[in-house]
Amino acid sequence: MESRDVSGRKVPDLAEVARLERRVVELEALVETSQVLNSSLRLSAVLDSFLLTAMGRFLLPRGVVALDRGGQLRVESGKGLPLELRGKELGLPCPLDGPVLLDWEADLPSACLETLRRWGFALVLPLASGRRELGLVALGPKPMDEKFDAEEIAFLETLVRMTATAVENALVVEELDATNRQLDRKLQEMNTLFELSVELNSSLDEIQIATSLCYALMGEMLTNVCAVWQWAPGGSPRLLAAFGPVEAEVSPAPPEAVEQLAQVGREPLILGEETDGAPAEFLRRAGFRVFVPLWVQDRACAAVALGPRLDRRDYGPDELHFLMTLGNHAANALENARLFRESLEKQKIEEELKIAREIQLRLLPLSFPELPGMEVYGVHKPSRWVAGDYFDVVQVSPDELALVMADVSGKGIPASLLMANVQAGLRTLLSPQTDLAQLAGRINRLIFDNTDFDKFVTLFVGVVSLPDRRMRYVNAGHNPPYLLRADGTVETLETGGLLMGMMPEISYQVGEVQLRPGDLLFLFTDGVVEAQNSREEEFGEERLVGLLSRELTSGAAEICEKVLEAVESFAAGCDQYDDITMLSLKVKHSDES
């Protein structure tokens, strides 16, 4: 109904005027808010501006904005709420078709709306742009618990739609910033990888490599706890470097835990309370939070463990990927350093073995005496740098010549050292008219007193009287030498006793033979007859005797060379597993010079 004054002129409706004035104020507020919202691309500034405008317009005590973060609604900004609610998750997003009043009579469709009502909110509006659902806005209540009318809700919907556009822009900027930060981090990681790769590969010292790795990882991962282990194929892990309070804990690590470190898989191990196993328990107790195996080709060769981050963040997928990438560079550097160290050690050992071989060869006869009516010659071919076989030709006196052949159990340096002791003992005890039984007994006692129970020696020693060509001998468990007579018969010299070093007191018997013109005495070790061919057949004593019989008329040196040639030809292409040693004494015919 129109109102008129006394003159008949129309009088404005005061209620309508008030409504129009309110709409003007609202429009001005929307314009000002739009300017403020579009003046910033920071999400927090946008949300704060929105809440201040909405709450100030209606004198609301509280307001909150929750955004969809990875499928969960999370409080991003709030006014009039406890600080602990900032960042709180409300649960799964609840799609809203429009505003929802949270009065106590309303049937709310989700748990998050029920939570907002318990917090004291009165109105919820969807926050959505034209492209996607962003979240929701919760406001209220109004003073004196007045309800929001339709015009107020319409105003808030307009304000929320304006805010949604600004929020979406801010989220895009936020995502761009996150992408840029991630790219910067990746670039920094690549620079770190490049610089550290150069540093790691510039050194062949495993400890220095491990130390550089620890420093790089502690700086990159913001931790003060780091340790690096390394192990060779089939070997036990050894600690290369440790930093932080764990150093005292990991050095005396439990053997079972350390052994199991080498059995890890390819993936990093996050050391939570639920992680089982001796290595995990040991590492967790020592203060580590992540364990990364370092692989080279098809085996783990090292590992690095890190403590908690100083910024209290967990190790995420990006950090683990960086650790594995850097670990691959470190693994190659550590493996190269290990191989270089082993090569140096091997070279040093070979040099020492070369010296040992030269010394050992000097213990063997360098030349052979010229004898009236006889000739003697020996050959020695070790299977390794040094050998356990021993032969000797000793001019005991002008009328006596000692022939010695021995074989020490085992191979390599231990056998060569025992062989040197046997040689020294024999050289010391041999004298004119030596009692061979007593000599053998004393050598046996010497070996027994100075070796373990699993070491023993087989020995043949014979002393030839040059004037009458009679030979006294003792065979202590050695391969019986062959005495091939000029008439073609073959004898074996077996008299003596047990091999030496097994028992402290052993009695030995002395045998005696008469050497005649045309006879051949051939001493050898089992490396001659046990040489194998590709079919695992042994050269054998029968083949040896046949060869000696055919070469009976040859000289001592020629016979040894023929036997060695035959053995090498028989075992061609196969490894020599034992030392080859032989010694021949050939008695000349009276018509030979």
Q: What is the mean pLDDT of residues 160-176?
A: 82
Q: Is the pLDDT of residue 378 over 90?
A: yes
Domains detected in the chain:
3-174 (3.30.450.40), 203-340 (3.30.450.40), 364-587 (3.60.40.10)
Percent with pLDDT over 90 in the chain: 24
Residue-wise pLDDT tens digits, 14-41:
555 555 555 555 555 655 555 555 656 7
Distance separating the N- and C-terminal Cα atoms of the chain: 163
* Pairwise CA distance, residues 53 & 32, whole Å: 9
> In sequence order, which residues have a C-beta less than 8 Å from that of residue 51 and are 6 or more positions away?
63, 64, 65, 77, 78, 79
Looking at residue 374, its pLDDT comes to 93
Residue-wise pLDDT tens digits, 95-117:
788 888 888 777 777 788 888 88
Where helices occur in 202-316 by DSSP H, the ranges are 206-221, 247-250, 255-261, 278-286
Residue-wise pLDDT tens digits, 292-317:
888 887 777 888 888 888 888 888 88
Name which residue leads in pLDDT, 591 or 369.
369
* Pairwise CA distance, residues 351 & 359, whole Å: 13
Looking at residue 200, its pLDDT comes to 63
Looking at residue 468, its pLDDT comes to 92
Residue-wise pLDDT tens digits, 229-253:
887 776 777 888 888 876 555 655 5
* Pairwise CA distance, residues 239 & 258, whole Å: 9
Q: What is the mean pLDDT of residues 200-227?
A: 82
Q: Is the pLDDT of residue 523 over 90?
A: yes
Looking at residue 46, its pLDDT comes to 83
Q: How confident is the model at residue 496 (pLDDT cuts 50, 70, 90)?
A: very high
Q: How confident is the model at residue 88 (pLDDT cuts 50, 70, 90)?
A: confident
DSSP states of 510-530: -EEEE--TT-EEEEE-HHHHT
Backbone angles phi, psi at 141, to 5 degrees: -90, 170
Q: Choose among 280, 271, 270: nearest CA to 317.
A: 270
Q: What is the mean pLDDT of residues 560-564?
A: 94
Looking at residue 167, its pLDDT comes to 82
Looking at residue 1, its pLDDT comes to 47
Q: Is the pLDDT of residue 186 over 70?
A: no
Cα angle: 102, vertex 103, 107; to 5 degrees? 75
Q: Is the pLDDT of residue 461 over 50?
A: yes
Q: Is the pLDDT of residue 262 over 60?
A: no
As given in the structure block, the two tokens for residue 387 are 């050998």
